[in-house]
Amino acid sequence: MKYQIMTDWEIPYFIIELQGPFQKKIMEKCILELLMSRHWKTQAHVLLDARKCTLDHLTTEEVKEAAAMVYKFRNKYSNGRVAWVVNKDRDVDFGMGRMFQLMHGETTGYEFQLFKSLKTAQNWIQTGIMPELF
């Protein structure tokens, strides 16, 4: 898995692009790099663009381990939002993301939402308002 952390001062959040098969160790390295950034604040928002990342190779245990790994950093990011965007054509990745969301719970102090639409994720991360579902 490859990642790139981007900061654009015209938008009020960090963007992390992920590519390739998801790997927990590399994701942990990515999170540590983000948290060590001189621009990081505990209430910062993050858009995790995983549209080019695949999750279908993960086992339930690996998803659980990834959720636990994120949990251990909970005091470094609070009161922020994380929007995770998966490829809209890969339902399996969305399902794995939902499994992560359920295992992750709401115990970390930040809001976490999963999206298939980049535009919807961008809107939510900036406003905190979820679109109405019909």
Name the pTM for this structure: 0.89
Q: Is residue 36 part of a domain?
A: yes
Q: Is residue 62 part of a domain?
A: yes
pLDDT of the chain, 134 residues: tens digit per residue: 999 999 877 788 999 999 999 999 999 999 999 999 888 887 889 999 999 999 999 999 999 898 888 888 877 777 789 999 999 999 999 999 999 888 876 666 678 899 999 999 999 999 888 877 53
Q: What is the pLDDT of residue 107?
A: 60
Q: What is the pLDDT of residue 58?
A: 94
Q: Residue 121 burial (CB < 10 Å; 0-12/13-18/19+)?
A: buried
Q: Is residue 103 part of a domain?
A: yes
Range of the domain at 13: 2-127
Q: What is the pLDDT of residue 134?
A: 38
Contact 66, 24 (CB under 8 A): yes
What is the CATH number for 84? 3.30.750.24
Q: Is residue 134 part of a domain?
A: no
Q: In total, how many domains does the chain have?
A: 1
